[in-house]
Structures are given as structure tokens and as C-alpha cells.
Structure 1
């Protein structure tokens, strides 16, 4: 399905070389958007850009950017704005997780997750806010996680980063509400992407929750359909979001009843 609101709009997607980011890129291109794709891997970026040109005849600019190198973010976004004239939609999709118990998590992994998932996301967003406010138009979409609503064992640091993303997103939404700029948080549960190559190299978590894993193309379609609308959150799957609501209301009960399931990482 196409989103007519995206025709001629410039959409910037971080973490665009696989999984959810790649699927969103194709859907945006099919809707007539001009794309700017950001990722660390130049070869994969060029490959995906070529596919988008061939399949959709859509303008697509590949930009190499490592979000953990925070000093590179401002000049990259200034260059994008100079080349495109405006950024209509920013999708902060880049991020990763490492599953480990709180006492075992490596300091490098802790710093890395916060550097990319939180500081990198905020730094990218900071670069588009002034122009969106000035134009009184735009949409910032932050990919968070159901882990940002329900923290579970072995994901303490990852969950902390996603709690931070949700807090930032909720504040940002209120700040920009009078400027015609939309802000959406996306909170998916486990999704079939290369995320688990790093988070769960043993494959045990994926094996345990396999039948509940979301398809990236389904999540991507929900996000693209919501672009340039005032949708506050996208929560998938529905049953997991119901669990997060129950957790907000009855945290002790949910922790007690769900303990066995929570330890399946």
C-alpha cells in the first residue's frame, strides 16, 4: 500500500541497511518519497540504493554514518539539508542490544548501546528540529521497543536505553506540538531481523519465542502508513502491548505471573 502523503517528501532513515530500515526504505520509495539512507556499511548502502533505483526509480542518497561517532552527526545532517532543502521525515531506526545479566554486561557494550540507541538518536533529532519548527512541518519517528515498557532479565541495559528513548520522545512530542511537527514512538516486540545476531548469538531466545516474532515487513508497513500523521505510538504485537498496560497498572502481579516467560532469554 502506498502513502500518498509521502510523494515528493524527503525521508531520512538511520540503520537502513537491513531488516526494518531496509523494508521501510522500499515502502517509502514505492510511495514516491525521496530517500536518504544512513548506515555504517558503505557496500550495503550502495547495494540497497541500487535496488531502490532499479525497482522504484526513486531518488535515493546513501550516506555513511556511524552514530557512535557523535562528532560526525551534525556535519552529515547539515550536508543532507543543503542537498535536499528540507527533511520531512526522520526515522531514528539505528540501534542494537546485547543480552547479558546486569552484573555481567561488559562496560564497552553498556557504553556502546547508550552511544547509539540514545545519544546518537538524540543528536540526529537535534539536527532536524530547527528546520522543522521553522517550516512548521515534519515528522520524527523513534524506533523504541516493548522493552522500553517492560524491562526483563538479561536486557537491563538495553531496556534502560529504550526507556530513555520513550522518555525523550514523550517530552519532544509535547515541545513540538504547537509547531505542526509530529512525533511518534514505535514499540515492537521481538522482530525477525539481524538484531539477534548480536543480542542473542546462541539463538536460545529466538528459539524460545519463535512463534511470537514479528515480521519486519508488517512493522515497516505500519510505520510508513503512519508517516505524516499525528499518531502518538505504534505498539506491536497487540497482545504484548496489552501486557505492558497491565504491567503499568499491576507491576508486581505481572512480574510474579510472568517470571518464567521473562527468563526465556
Structure 2
């Protein structure tokens, strides 16, 4: 599959005001891209854009509102003439048991993590189709391939993202538009301030957490090479594949080993 040169590319990153999004922005700028930081906090976006330099701009956007996204996409295209890469990075998680979690938490994670990805893709896709090229990158998760205790809401939203990504890739085959899924394990970012406020999960898996710079680098490489999917780290990705083939393993010692939340 053909990738996109990041040198001179116009790339939009949602959820870009902090965490992985801000590191992704720095990685793409270092490779010569013009990066538009998208998110809900003008102050934080403006501050980051100032730090990253003249190849960076920002756009306030609410991914729970299709109208907000459409307006932002129109403004970005008006400014830059095109959008070459769109990275659906915005998302959040709350780790809790299904029987304890209020319905509102399930709905909110699905609205942001899944429907946010759908809304953004629906808004930018017509412009890429008209251009006959482009790349949509969805930051999913290994949680989209295997379920874990206290992850029912979050895992379900990421399973939905991967299902959407795989189907969209088939629909867009031959159009010049590449669809890529990035599936990282736990990343050392402020994501866990909300997902795991007591720090229990982070304490248990600190040794295996990815650095955001690692994920940003692998994402950039996947864009350049036009990869369909990138799973990381290797050993976690291998474990996910084995569990997909042999789901009963999750009922015994393997399941207990995974239950770190």
C-alpha cells in the first residue's frame, strides 16, 4: 500500500493539546509536515503551536459536534488548500467494572472514542476523495483486540474503532486513500489521570508502558510506508493475537495475569 511523504504534508491531529497528540505533532513537524493541532482548549493549543514553530497552527474543534468538525475542516482546507493526513487521536478511558459503571460513562466513551472518529472521518473524507489521495490514521488500541476486566466500556469503544477502520479500508480500496490503525498498549501519558486516578493499574504495569515518543515514531513510519496497521509493543501484540485465536486462555492463569486494573 502506498504511503505519504510527510515532508510538506498537511496533517491534522485531534486531541492535540497534550499527551500523545502533542508528541505526534512534534514528530510530524520534525519530518517537515505542516501540522494543524485540533482540540477543545484554545489556550493549550495556542501555547503548543507557539513552541512547535511556524509549521504549526491550531483549530478549536469539538469532536462530539459534527457541525464543529465540518466548520474546522472547511477552515483548514481554506487555509492550506488540502488535508493530506488526518489523525484521529482524541479519546479517553475510565476503568471500572461494568456492573458499577453508570451508563453515562459507556455512552461518553463511545461518543468520543468511536463516534468522534466517525464524525471526523465523515467530515474530511469528501475532500480526500475529491483529491484522490490522503491518509486517515485512527489511534485505536490493543484494547480494541482483547477485552480486559474493568475495561468493558473503553475496550468496546476501541473494538468499534477497529471495526470501522477495517471496513472503511475495504470500502476505499483503489481510491488512493489509505486507512491505518495504530494499536498501542499502555502509554505513559496523562490518559491515566482519568482512567486510573488511584494509580493502581499504572503501578502494576509501569514496567511495560510505552513512551509517547515511541508511538509517535511508529505512527509516522506507518504513514510513510502506508501500513494498514501497527501493533506495539511486540510482545503485547503477540499476546493479543494468541488470545484471539485461543480465547479460553483468558479464563485461567493468563486472564489473571492480564487483570492488572
Quick check: TM above 0.5? yes
Please state how far the C-alpha of 1:72 moved relative to its aligned partner.
Answer: 1.5
CA deviations 1:84-132 (Å, max 9, x no partner) are: 1110000000000001100111222222111110111111011121121
**Maintained 8 Å contact 2:4/2:135:** no
Give runs of ≥4 in structure 1 deviating > 3 Å: none
2:48 counterpart of 1:48:
yes
Please state how far the C-alpha of 1:4 moved relative to its aligned partner.
Answer: 8.9
Equivalence map 1:219-234=2 (5 Å): 219-234=215-230
2:88 counterpart of 1:122:
no
Corresponding residue for 2:193?
Answer: 197
**Maintained 8 Å contact 1:145/1:188:** yes
Corresponding residue for 1:89?
Answer: 85
CA distance in 2, matches of 1:87, 1:230: 16
CA deviations 1:19-46 (Å, max 9, x no partner) are: 2111110111111111111011111101
Corresponding residue for 2:204?
Answer: 208
Corresponding residue for 1:11?
Answer: 11
Please state how far the C-alpha of 1:11 moved relative to its aligned partner.
Answer: 0.2
Match for 2:137 among 135, 141, 154?
141
Aligned-residue RMSD, C-alpha: 1.5
**Maintained 8 Å contact 2:66/2:123:** no
Corresponding residue for 1:110?
Answer: 106
Corresponding residue for 1:77?
Answer: 73
Alignment partner of 2:173: what SS?
helix
Unaligned 5+ runs, structure 1: none
- Which 10-residue stretch deviates more, 186-195 or 35-44? 35-44
Alignment partner of 1:12: what SS?
strand
CA distance in 2, matches of 1:253, 1:204: 24
Alignment partner of 1:227: what SS?
helix
CA distance in 2, matches of 1:51, 1:133: 33
**Maintained 8 Å contact 1:184/1:233:** yes
With over 3 angstroms needed to count, the CA separation of the structure-2 counterparts of 1:178 and 1:4, relative to structure 1, is closer
Please state how far the C-alpha of 1:262 moved relative to its aligned partner.
Answer: 2.6
CA distance in 2, matches of 1:4, 1:137: 9
2:58 counterpart of 1:62:
yes
CA distance in 2, matches of 1:228, 1:173: 17
Alignment partner of 1:104: what SS?
coil
Unaligned 5+ runs, structure 2: none
CA deviations 1:123-144 (Å, max 9, x no partner) are: 1011121121222211100000
CA distance in 1, matches of 2:27, 2:95: 31
Alignment partner of 1:179: what SS?
coil
**Maintained 8 Å contact 2:16/2:25:** yes
With over 3 angstroms needed to count, the CA separation of the structure-2 counterparts of 1:99 and 1:17, relative to structure 1, is same
**Maintained 8 Å contact 2:94/2:195:** yes
